[in-house]
Structure 1
Amino acid sequence: MKSPSALRILVPIIIGLALIAAGGGLYPAAGQPFSLVNFRGEDVTINARGLYYWDTVSSAAQMQANDAVTLFLALPLLGVSYRLTQKGSLRGKLLLTGTLGFILYTYITMCFGAAYNPFFLIYVALFSLSLFAFVLSMMSFEVNSLTAHFSEKLPRRWIAGLLFFAAAFLSLAWLGRIAPTFMPGAVPLLENTTSMFIQAMDLGIVVPVCILSGVLLLRRRPWGYLLASVGLIKFLTLGTAVSLMALNMARLGVPVSPVELIIFPGMALAGMVMTIFLLKNVKEVQGVK
């Protein structure tokens, strides 16, 4: 399970660019939000401050929450896991791959969801670099022998249950938002975006991967261990980010569903607990690089 040498170049660049992107998003700026009616006839409130000037107050609150999680959780985790990976740690490699998945997801959303700003090319670079780094990291695992690296005490049913719950919750939440748009004359609640790109990624990629990894893990298939491990670590970071997004929106007076304020933090906490159990049940092998 050798770590690709290209990661020695890609990961430090990703860390540096993400520091700039997240720091720029959190940089304080003065301004007065204003309301307007977009081309669909929706009343929206433009943030009118800082890097996210042309985003709505709701979108800016979510992106800044994500910036905070990137800066104070994901990047330290990326640095530590990268260092552990260089020492031949399987735990480090699993952490690295899952965190790269979070960075990839984050900057896909920034490329297609954020209103155009001066950091656009930084978002594109992070999207591209994290995509290739994630693929290289996934390819570096000797999947067929991966099962032997996990203890029999691994709570597979609990982990699979969390993955199935996440798939079900996302499916119900997003389909519940999409369904009303089928009514005659309905106006989708898109604010400043052109389509439901988050819902597309979650329903098209995240939900199927959650279901597949849960099923394979219950069947003790090697790919189940790998996908579930990477998925849990990604959920740890993404769940924390979504929880902070909801709290930040509530702080700014943006309407937030009480369900979101309960479910997302609960999923983040469950993901953290399951990630700890997962890493405790990884058996390291000396000399693996």
Structure 2
Amino acid sequence: MPFEDRIKGFWHVMRADTPGGAQARRRAAALGAIAVFLLVLLAAVGLFRYVLFGVAAAACGACLAAAVLLVVRHAPRGARLAARVPDSGRRIAHASAGGAARARTHVSPALRGAARWSSRARSVAGLQLATATAGAQRNVRAATARVGAQATAAWPTRTPGVRHREALRANAVGLRLRRDGAYLEAAEEHRVALALFRDLGDRRSEALTLNNLALALDRAGDGAALDLFEQAATMLGDLGEEQHEGEVIANLALAFRRRGSDERSAEVFELALGKLEPDSQAYRKVENLRRAS
């Protein structure tokens, strides 16, 4: 069958007011709706531009081929065709309008379905991304917790030797700060050392650190130093450390002197001399201080 006869037969079936024509029109509309749906789907994944270019190129090629074929085959009937153009134009316009309306009727639900599908796909993708992100954060936190637990299991606490060195270091820092005149900062360092020695159960070092803390507070003008000197002296006496006990008592005597309690200071100096070895340097120093009062 010639090409033009096929075209005429197609349009005749499409325009016919028969059940066959209605079925052909529904099929054409359904095919158009499917094509539109596919185009929307491709647009959602970012391929619509390429499909559109291909369709446009194919349509242009088909139109050009059809135009050439019509010109070649229908040139002798040009006049008759020209005379029938107005009537044909009206029929074509009417058919086009009807076809467009029917296409919109079938295409609109498809477009709405495609839009709902695209929105649902984006929602699902967003939910999956959020879930994946939250899962990754939970995994990071769990891994951090595992590392911390492993480190704690490997070294649950600082060893006594480490804590002892830390206490000695804090006492040394406090002594340097006290010599520099930073008495309150020195007191803080001595408190750190005191807590460590108490935790270790080292009563001798605890008593000596109480003496260091009292010296810093005494130079800062804090009256709590007097009580700390007495605590340190009592602990050293209980431990049998009379030489160190005498030195702490001498520091207490100096604290009384700084506060103007000369009589009390002299009494405490005598008590300190009774604890110190007579041939020791500390004894001679305390004796000189007692005489100076």
Q: TM-score range by the shorter chain?
A: under 0.3
Higher-Rg structure is 2
Ranked by relative contact order (alpha carbons within 8 Å, sequence separation 6 or more), the top structure is 1
Structure in which a larger fraction of residues adopt helix = 2
Relative to the length of structure 2, the TM-score reads 0.24
